[in-house]
Amino acid sequence: MSKIHIKLLSENALAHMKKNIDVITKKIQENEDNKWIYSEFPEKMFIEKKYEIDDFKIIDNPESKDKEIDLTNSITIFNSLKVLPRYVLTDERFWLWLHLEKFYNEVKSMMTVKGTSTVLDHWMHKQGTRRGLMFGVLSRCYYRVAFTVDESLTNKYELTKWVIENPERFRNLTWRSFSSEEHLVRGIIKGEKKAIDENPSLEKNDIYPEIAKYVSIIGSVRLLDVISEEDIAEMICSKTKELLA
């Protein structure tokens, strides 16, 4: 497989995009391909970096409706990008290169651009680093796998598949400060899944915000980062069963 250098959107281009967001949004809505970006944005638009990755493709998935394709794309994105340092993976300019140049058509298809809020929230991470990454069209695909892949399982993507089937199982956790601890997020999801698997007919989405609040309460009296994955899984399994009842 061929190697490619990653790119970042330049600071000048990012500033232009923010200043002209209404125009940019209209261009995205009206153009089926991305040829317009090379005349709309100031040069140099993309800055090539030293890091190399295996070139890769993703499958078109209109409105991300096909969960199996969503899973496949998420795994592909994660495995292709996991070699990159965290500072790149949290930089909106990196994801904007993927959105605007490498996967423009796929990103447009995955989420219809209804207005400027779609571009700001899901292309540009307006919500800030933590929430923005979990809102991003492609970045959320990466982080759903990063937080759920489990080498100890026969199918290491078992938890990934579970959260993609119902995003509420994962979404509320990612907005909390403890979401930077991958073992905690993975343990929480394991606990949720165990309880739900035992009582599938009782699942309701309103339990998931309560679980996130419960973890925050635990964090007010204990250091979350020293709680093991197994211990938090047990605690969350018990709490989930309580909420289901």
CA atoms within 13 A on the CB side of 132: 18
- Residues 130 and 162 both lie in one domain: no
What are residue 234's phi and psi, to 5 degrees? Answer: -65, -45
The encoded tokens of residue 98 equal 């993927």
Work out the average pLDDT over 220-233.
Answer: 89
Structural domain harbouring 130: 1-141
| Per-residue confidence (pLDDT) for residue 207, from 0 to 100 | 96
The encoded tokens of residue 239 equal 């709490």
Confidence bin at 58 (pLDDT 50/70/90): very high
Work out the average pLDDT over 131-154.
Answer: 93
The encoded tokens of residue 120 equal 């700001």
pLDDT of residue 227 exceeding 80: yes
Work out the average pLDDT over 3-20.
Answer: 96
CA 233-131-74 angle, to 5 degrees, is 70
- Residues 179 and 220 both lie in one domain: yes
- Residues 9 and 41 both lie in one domain: yes
Question: Tens digits of per-residue pLDDT, 81-128?
Answer: 999 999 999 999 999 999 999 999 999 999 999 999 999 999 998 877
Confidence bin at 226 (pLDDT 50/70/90): confident
Q: Closest by alpha carbon to 170, among 198, 200, 149? A: 149
- Residues 11 and 43 both lie in one domain: yes
- Residues 165 and 100 both lie in one domain: no
The C-alpha atoms of residue 229 and residue 152 are separated, in whole angstroms, by: 12
- Residues 3 and 57 both lie in one domain: yes
pLDDT of residue 165 exceeding 90: yes
Global confidence as pTM:
0.93
The H-assigned helical ranges of 31-123 are 37-40, 67-81, 86-89, 92-97, 104-110, 116-122
The encoded tokens of residue 165 equal 């089937």
Give me the amino acid identity at 50. Answer: K
pLDDT of residue 179 exceeding 90: no
Give me the amino acid identity at 38. Answer: Y
Where does residue 161 rank: exposed (0-12), middle (13-18), buried (19+ CB within 10 A)? middle
The encoded tokens of residue 12 equal 């000048």
Contact 46, 10 (CB under 8 A): yes
- Residues 77 and 99 both lie in one domain: yes
- Residues 108 and 76 both lie in one domain: yes
Mean pLDDT of the chain: 94
| Per-residue confidence (pLDDT) for residue 30, from 0 to 100 | 95
Work out the average pLDDT over 37-47.
Answer: 93
pLDDT of residue 132 exceeding 90: no
Query: What is the number of domains present in the chain?
Result: 2
- Residues 185 and 136 both lie in one domain: no
